[in-house]
Amino acid sequence: MACCARMACRARIAFFHHLKQTAFWKLFLDYGQTTFVSLATDFSGLDFAALALERSTTAKFVHIWSCEKKGNLVKLVRQSSRFHKPKVNFPDATKRRTKEMPYADLFVSTPECQDYSPDGKQNGQKNESRGLLIKHSVRFILAKKPRAFLFEQSDQLFSKRHFPVLKKVMRICAKRGRYNVRAKKINSLDQTGCQYRCRTYIAGIRKIDGITSRPFKWPAKSTIRPKASQFINPPTDHDAPSLPPARPHKSPKEHNRSRQLAKSYVARWKARGANPKTSLVIGDTGCSKNRGSSRHEESPALTCRRCRGHDLWLSTHGRTADTNEMFKLQTHLEDLDDEFPNWQQTVSKGQMGDAICNSLHIPTVARILKNLLSAANIQDVQLKTEVPGF
C-alpha cells in the first residue's frame, strides 16, 4: 500500500509539472491581454523578429527561447546591447525534444528557403535535410499551442511545384492544432520598404473556447516608399561614379563580368531617362549575365549570394555596398554597430552579410506582428513613427 501511495504521489507531481511546462496551465489564468508577451523564435539567426518588436513597435515582450545552430551568431546576439536576449538557445532543431521546450505566446519561425528559392535547385521537400525543416516548427505548434505564430518562407511556396507543402502546413495547423491560418505573398516594397523582396508569410491564431479573437488582416499596401539612397552612406572622397573596382578575392574573369554587368545597367537606365551617376542605381554584379538585375532607388532582394560576396553595386559611389549599408536596407535602422557592438570580433564580414540577408525584413514583419498580436488579443501594439521609412 505504501509503495502504491508513493507511486500515485509521484504521478500527481509529474502530471502538474507537465501542466506547468505546457500551454494547458494557462487555462486556469485570464486569457485577456498580457503585460508581457512571451516570444520564441525558430531558425533565429540574428533574431530580427525580436529586433522588429523592440525597435519598431511598442510591444512589451520576453524572449523565452531561440533556435540557432551557428554558435558565433548565438554569441553575437548574447553580447549585443539589446535587452531581448533569449533565455535558452536550442542548437539543433532536428534533435531537440519538443515536450521539454517552454511555452510561448508568440512563435516566429524562418526555416531555410534555399530548396524553394529560384536561385537554388528547388528540390523542396525532397531534400529532407533542409526542405523539411518546417516540420520541426509545426511539431512545436501542435505540442505547445502558442496563441499566435508566423512563418516566413520563399515566395515559391505559391508556385505549382511547391504549393502542396504550403497547403499541408496550413491544413495540419488548422485541423490538428485548431488554428485560424492564413497565407499571403507580400512584397516589402508595399510595406514601406525600398527592397524588392517577395516572401510567403503564414499566420495563425489559436481558437480558444470562450475567447473572442479579433479578425486578422494582413497589412494594407503603404503609399510610403523611401528611397534606397536614404539608407546608403553619402559618397566620400574615395568614391566616384564609375564601374566596380577590382577586388582581391575575385578572379580577372569574374571582375570583367562584373564590369560588363555594370555597363549594361548604366546603358539600361540612361535609356529610361535616369542618370546613374547622380541618381542611385543598385545592381547585382556577382551573377551571370542572364540573371543580372538592377533597380532605380530600390534594392534587389538581399540573398546569401549577394551579401556574402558583397555584390550589390552602387552606381553613385562606384563601389559595392558594405555590411552596414546592407543592414540598413534590411532593417531601416540607423547603424549596425549600435545594435551589435564589436561584431567584427565574433563574425567575419561574409558571415555577417550572410546572416543579414537570411533575416527578416523588419518594416514588413513589424507591421504583420502588430496586426497579429492585436487579432490574437495578446497585446495592443503600435508602430514607432520615429523609425525611418514608417
DSSP 310-360: T-EEETTTTEE--HHHHHHHHH--S-HHHHSTTGGGTS-HHHHHHHHHTS-
Distance CA 137, CA 75 (A): 23
- Looking at the fold, whether 301 and 207 belong to one and the same domain comes out as no
Nearest to 333 by CA among 60, 59, 81, 55: 55
pLDDT digits (tens, 9 = 90+) for 30-82: 344 557 899 999 998 899 999 999 888 888 899 999 999 999 999 999 888 66
In this structure, are 238 and 189 located in the same domain?
no
3-state class (DSSP) for residue 21: helix
Q: Which residues form the domain of 138?
A: 33-222+360-375
Per-residue pLDDT at 121 exceeds 70 = no
At 314 the pLDDT is 92
Identify the bridge partners of residue 203 per DSSP, sorted by sequence position. Answer: 150, 182
Q: How many Å apart are CA 336 and CA 347, to the nearest integer? A: 13
What are the beta bridge partners of residue 166? none
Do the domain assignments include residue 142? yes
Give the span between the Cα atoms of 320 and 206, in whole angstroms: 45
Cβ-contact 316, 276 below 8 angstroms: yes
Domains in the chain, number: 2
Same domain, 135 and 82: yes
Give 221-250 pLDDT, tens digit per residue.
988 888 999 999 888 888 888 777 666 567
Residue 26 lies in a domain: no
189 & 233 share domain: no
Q: Which residues pair with 323 in a beta bridge?
A: none
- Tell whether 140 and 153 lie within a shared domain: yes
Question: Which three cell numbers, joined as nine digits, stand for 275?
Answer: 542618370
pLDDT at 269 over 90: yes
* Phi/psi at 315 (5° precision): -65, -35
Specify whether 365 is located in the same domain as 353.
no
Rounded Cα–Cα distance for residues 239 and 131 (Å): 42
In a domain, 18, yes or no: no
Contact yes or no for 333/387 (Cβ under 8 A) = yes
DSSP secondary structure of 168-237: HHHHHHHHTS-EEEEEEEEEGGGTT-SB--EEEEEEEEE--TT--PPPP-PPPPPS----GGGGSPPP-T
What's the CA gap between 212 and 230, in Å, rounded? Answer: 42
pLDDT for 371: 93
My answer on whether 236 and 93 are in the same domain is: no
Global pTM reads 0.86
Name the grid cell of 165: 507543402
Question: Averaged over 298-304, what is the pLDDT?
Answer: 87
pLDDT confidence bin for 19, thresholds 50/70/90: very low
Place of cell 551568431: 73
Band (pLDDT 50/70/90 cuts) for residue 25 is: very low
For residue 3, being part of any structural domain is answered with: no
Please give the grid coordinates belonging to residue 314: 552602387
119 Cβ contact partners less than 8 Å away, ≥ 6 residues apart:
303, 305
> Do residue 203 and residue 253 come from a single domain?
no
Please tell me the predicted confidence (pLDDT) of residue 122.
63
User: What integer is the mean pLDDT of 134-153?
Assistant: 93
In the numeric block, the cell 525611418 is attached to 388
Residue 383 forms part of a structural domain = no
The pLDDT, as a whole number, for residue 292 is 83
- Of the chain, the percentage scoring pLDDT greater than 70 comes to 81
Residue 243 sits in the same domain as residue 290: yes
Q: What is the mean pLDDT of residues 244-269?
A: 81
pLDDT in tens, 178-189: 999 999 999 999
Residue 282 belongs to some domain of the structure: yes
In angstroms, the CA 158 to CA 155 distance is 6
* 116 and 197 in a common domain: yes
Residue 17 lies in a domain: no
Residue 333 and residue 346 in one domain = yes
Q: What is the mean pLDDT of residues 202-218?
A: 81
The CATH number of whichever domain residue 57 belongs to comes to 3.40.50.150
15, containing H or E segment: helix 2-21
The answer to the question of residue 11 being in a domain is no
Q: Are residues 56 and 121 in the same domain?
A: yes
User: Which string of b and e fits 253-270 if b means at least 16 CB within 10 Å?
Assistant: ebbebbbebbeebbebbe
196 class by beta-carbon count within 10 Å (0-12 exposed, 13-18 middle, 19+ buried): middle
What pLDDT is stored for residue 304 in this prediction? 77
